[in-house]
């Protein structure tokens, strides 16, 4: 069974552009927050708490694909519905749908990988297979 989580966003004045509407990269920022929240809601601790044990530092993006249907502006409340639509060996795809009330404003998929920093003093980053315990928590 697929879990769908909800993440709430209040649009701020500073999220909007000279056209008076949400500057579109903020939707990506909110989807990223919804992605973090998804794992948290499924019982996975924040990456920073997992680091010492697992060297995991996050789930960077390989690809995003977003469609914008209706604009939003400051003072409005949005809800992002998030689910994982597929798991690969190393990757997974999340679908985020941004609603204002019943209106779907925008939706996008993110393709992400799990990465670790094997040496805390180094800059190197490595992708790893999807950790099974995380996958288990999300299903």
Distance from C-alpha of 104 to C-alpha of 66, rounded to nearest angstrom:
13
How many distinct helices (H) and strands (E) make up the chain? 3, 7
Under the criterion CB under 8 A, does residue 21 sit at the interface with its own copies?
yes
Under the criterion CB under 8 A, does residue 19 sit at the interface with its own copies?
yes
Q: Is 32 a catalytic residue?
A: no
Catalytic residue among 17, 32, 102, 123: 17
- Min. distance of Cβ 67 from its own copies in angstroms? 5
Under the criterion CB under 8 A, does residue 99 sit at the interface with its own copies?
no
Distance from C-alpha of 136 to C-alpha of 132, rounded to nearest angstrom:
6
Question: Is 103 strand, coil or helix?
Answer: strand
Which one, 35 or 138, has the nearer CB to its own copies? Answer: 35
How many of the chain's residues bind its own copies (CB under 8 A)?
45
Nearest to 27 by CA among 77, 81, 66: 66
Which one, 2 or 52, has the nearer CB to its own copies? Answer: 52
Q: Which x/- pattern over 37-76 shows residues binding its own copies (rule: CB under 8 A)?
A: ---x-----x-x--xx----xx-xxxxxxxxx--x-xxx-
Distance from C-alpha of 122 to C-alpha of 106, rounded to nearest angstrom:
38
Give the residue numbers annotated as catalytic, written as ranges: 17
């Amino acid at each position: 069974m697929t879990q769908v989580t909800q993440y709430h966003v209040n649009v701020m004045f500073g999220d909007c552009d000279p056209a008076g509407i949400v500057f579109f990269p903020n939707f990506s920022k909110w989807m990223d927050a919804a992605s973090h929240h998804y794992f948290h809601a499924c019982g996975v601790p924040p990456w920073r708490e997992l680091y010492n044990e697992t060297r995991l530092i996050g789930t960077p993006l390989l690809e995003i694909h977003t469609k914008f249907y209706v604009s939003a502006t400051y003072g409005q409340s949005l809800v992002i519905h998030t689910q994982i639509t597929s798991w690969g060996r190393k990757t997974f795809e999340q679908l985020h749908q941004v609603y204002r009330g019943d209106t779907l404003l925008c939706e996008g998929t993110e393709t992400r990988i799990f990465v670790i920093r094997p040496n805390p003093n180094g800059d190197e980053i490595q992708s790893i297979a999807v950790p099974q315990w995380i996958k288990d928590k999300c299903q």
